Amino acid sequence: MKHDQSPSPNELYQEFLKHLEDLKNKAEALDLKAKYLGKNGIFSIILKDLKDAAIEVKKEIGQQCNEYKNQIEDLIRSKLDELELQEINRSLAEDWVDITLKNSNLDRGLTAAGYHPMTIVQREIEDIFTSMGFLILDGPYIEDDYHNFTALNTPADHPARDMTDTFWFKNTTEGKQRLHKYLLRTHTSTIQIRGMETYSPPFKFVGPGKVFRCERTDASHEVVFHQIEGMIVDKGISVSNLIYFMKTLLQEIFRREIEVRLRPGFFPFVEPGFELDVKCLICQGNGCSVCKQSGWLELLPCGMVHPNVLREGGIDPKIYQGLAFGLGLDRLTMMRYVIDDVRLINSGDLRFISQFKSY
């Protein structure tokens, strides 16, 4: 483009003003800017071509070009602001939400999100316990050997450790007094120890949460499942308190008469220990895959806290006694909602989960 034949800077500027009027959006504005001011834009080419022109022409045209370039720069900047504002106003006008409207998704048969059945049941049970004056405690999923076994009267060579095979972590460090090996906790009974470390008797607390076992899964066994641990420590607690308390608890949970049976059960951390089974509500006791055709389901093992465990928690068993229980929350949820396979609970299958009401 030669300065003597090409449009003058003023003509180019007038042409630019016409294009500016027609801009519809920010992308067009940026294209126009590039066309006039870009590295290979119209004004850059004119300035490049000036290198062979006479000095007066160079000075006059160069100065004009720079002035117009500055004006174009300013005009494009304010045009971009204006277009941005227009876009915001347009999207506000298009996207506004009438929060007073009924949820049309519900009319179309789609359901609103709700809580997972385990959450619903866990919260109901926590409410029952808090209404009875229990504290709700928490404990870590990654536990040490001491809290999961040793402090619960299950030393390293105790065969009862085999009953709950689990997932161990490779890193082990030699502590001064205790051997700290880490594992995914196999039961919420760890919270008994953590509770005794924190509180002095008398106390009563529950501790819900996930537990982990290296299991072969079936209709009533999962690898990751949920328990809620309970512990009461006070003076003069006996087995009759334990039995009365367990019955009241189940009545509160099921809100109707259910058939239960109590039989001896072995757990190193209780003495005596019991298994409290519930008549299977899936098959009404006739036998199914959940209760392994027995008509009964293990739900609520319990017992009197072993004196060694109380001692480990710094409590004198001659003064205080304790009762403890470990409720299987998944199985309870299965009984409550008549779910015939525990594996559905962690399946994440929306067809399953969306059947449950919110809490």
Q: Which residues bind ligand FA5 (CB under 6 A)?
A: 187, 189, 213, 215, 221-222, 225, 227, 267, 270, 273, 298-299, 301-303, 324-326, 328, 330-331, 342
Query: Residue 325 or residue 356: which is nearer to ligand FA5 going by CB?
Result: 325
**Whole-number minimum distance, CB 246 to ligand FA5, in Å?**
11
Residue 179: name the closest of 155, 195, 153, 213 by CA: 155
Smaller CB separation from ligand FA5, 90 or 261? 261
Considering the complex, state which of residue 9 and residue 301 has its C-beta at the smaller distance from ligand FA5.
301
Which backbone phi and psi does 244 adopt, to 5 degrees? -60, -45
What is the 3-class SS of the chain, one letter each residue? CCCCCCCCHHHHHHHHHHHHHHCCCHHHHHHHHHHHHCCCCHHHHHHHHHHHCCHHHHHHHHHHHHHHHHHHHHHHHHHHHHHHHHHHHHHHHHHCCCCCCCCHHHHCCCCCCCCCHHHHHHHHHHHHHHHCCCEECCCCCEEEHHHHCHHHCCCCCCHHHHHHCCCEEEEEEECCCCEEEEEECCCCCHHHHHHHHHCCCCEEEEEEEEEECCCCCECCECCEEEEEEEEEEECCCCHHHHHHHHHHHHHHHHCCCCCEEEEECCCCCEEEEEEEEEECCCCCCCCCCCCCCCCEEECCCEEEECHHHHHHCCCCCCCCEEEEEEEEHHHHHHHHHCCCCHHHCCCCCHHHHCCCCCC
Q: Which is nearer to ligand FA5, 161 or 331 (CB)?
A: 331
- Indicate the residue among 37 and 330 with the shorter CB distance to ligand FA5: 330
Q: Nearer Cβ to ligand FA5, position 227 or 321?
A: 227
What is the CA 296 to chain-centroid distance, rounded? 33
Distance CA 180, CA 148 (A): 11
Give min distance, CB of 287 to ligand FA5, in A: 18
Task: Specify whether the CB–CB gap between 339 and 314 falls below 8 A.
Answer: no
Cβ 254 to ligand FA5 shortest distance, Å: 15
Residue nearer to ligand FA5 on the CB measure, 209 or 326: 326
Provide, rounded to whole angstroms, the least separation between the CB of residue 217 and ligand FA5: 8
CB 192 within 8 A of CB 305: yes
- Residue 211: CB minimum distance to ligand FA5, A: 7
Cβ neighbours of 122 (radius 10 Å): 20
Judged by beta carbon, residue 43 or residue 325, the one nearer ligand FA5 is: 325
Q: How far is the CB of 167 from ligand FA5 (least distance, A)?
A: 13
Nearer CB in complex with ligand FA5: 36/333: 333
- In the complex, minimum distance from the CB of residue 189 to ligand FA5, in angstroms, rounded to a whole number: 4
CB of 194 to ligand FA5, least distance (A): 14
Residue nearest to ligand FA5 (CB): 328
Kindly state the tokens that stand for 180: 């700290």
Distance in Å, CB of 104 to ligand FA5, minimum: 40
